[in-house]
Amino acid sequence: MLRLTAVALLIAVVIGCGSFRVHKPVSLPPGSLVPWMNRPAPAYEEQPPPSPSPYPTNAAACTAASLLVTAGRQGAAAGNELQQFIFTNSGSFPCLLAGNPVVTATDPQGKRVTLTFGSGTFFGPVWPANIRAGGAGELDFGTAGGCGTQQSVPYSSLSFQMPGGGRIDSSLSLFVGSCGLSSSGLGLPPPQITVPSPAPGSVQTLTAGLELPQSVARGHELAYVVVLTNSSTADVELSSCPSYTENLGSLTRSYWLNCDSVGRIAAGASYRFEMKLAVPLSAPTGAYKFSWRINDPSGPFCGSSISLIT
């Protein structure tokens, strides 16, 4: 059995960060400390975010004769360099932009060479897609330095042998860093998915903050406070009570919120919910990430760090 004793809150900081039916909750005044309730809940299974649907790809392949290629944007992130090329459908019908062209270029010695590259860039995927007449897709190249003493090598007069047939010659250029070259393939970036805003009065409109001690001893009980605040203009009813999950490193526990004491969080109000978590005596000492969340994909969430001591 674990030895459970109260751990006094040290200097605390407030950090922004299924349901259970409740009957006739006691109404505590806003700002009250709501006592912890030892009511375990089913483990929360994180749902994967929704994935965008693929683009239509039923058109005939784009050929060199129906494409114009121009330089796109350039950028840098985390030591990676983006070099983008835009392929515009100059034809009268949609065509499918997909695959990787064979790219040749003139090296600094004036020799015509075929560029080699890996699949996928740091800057995200590009999906095959039908390109409408007058529309445009892209081909991204990524490179980076820091893989040796070799300087970046410039290549000019790029030519693109298209998967759909034909070759596009150009005066475009790119450079290859010491880490080599990678390519996204031809197409369009994945469509963005719009995440709907939380419905007024839903628990997702709440924000969460932590009053967490700086440390807790192994084999003791971590006592802390979660502050739930309703900054919206609609009351949040807790009659269908949510569960929450707390994580201390790999230790995960889920409980029902104490909605027996608070049935509603009025607009502009906040409550301080007492929390308790038994820390195993076997847990190694050191610094740990700590997180707390309402068990819903939209949260609310909050987190901080804490040290386990002997």
Q: pLDDT tens digits, residue range 14-29?
A: 444 444 554 455 567 8
Q: Average pLDDT, stretch 144-164?
A: 91
Of 9-13, 36-40, 229-233, which range is least confident? Answer: 9-13
Q: What pLDDT is stored for residue 27 in this prediction? A: 64
Higher local confidence (pLDDT), 226 or 192 = 226
From the list 131, 122, 120, 142, the residue with the least C-alpha distance to 188 is 131
- Show the tokens assigned to 210: 């932590």
Q: What is the mean pLDDT of residues 60-82?
A: 94
Choose among 39, 4, 41: nearest CA to 295.
41
Q: How far is CA 155 from CA 83, 104, 257, 287, in A?
A: 12, 9, 62, 49
Q: Mean pLDDT across the stretch 195-207?
A: 91
Summarised one tens digit per residue, pLDDT across range 100-112 is: 999 999 999 999 9
> What residue ranges define each of the domains in the chain, with the CATH number in brackets?
14-49+200-309 (2.60.40.10), 64-187 (2.60.40)
Q: What is the C-alpha to C-alpha distance for residues 112 and 275, in angstroms, rounded to an integer?
A: 68
Name residue, tokens 């992130």: 77
pLDDT of residue 297: 87
Give the SS3 label for residue 226. Answer: strand
User: Does residue 275 carry a pLDDT above 90?
Assistant: yes
Q: Is the pLDDT of residue 251 over 50?
A: yes
Reported pTM? 0.59
Pair of tokens at residue 73: 């944007």
| Mean pLDDT estimate for the chain | 89
The number of beta carbons lying within 10 Å of the beta carbon of residue 279 is: 22
Q: Please give the residue that has the higher pLDDT: either 151 or 84.
A: 84
For residue 48, the model assigns a pLDDT of 78
In this prediction, residue 26 carries a pLDDT of 54
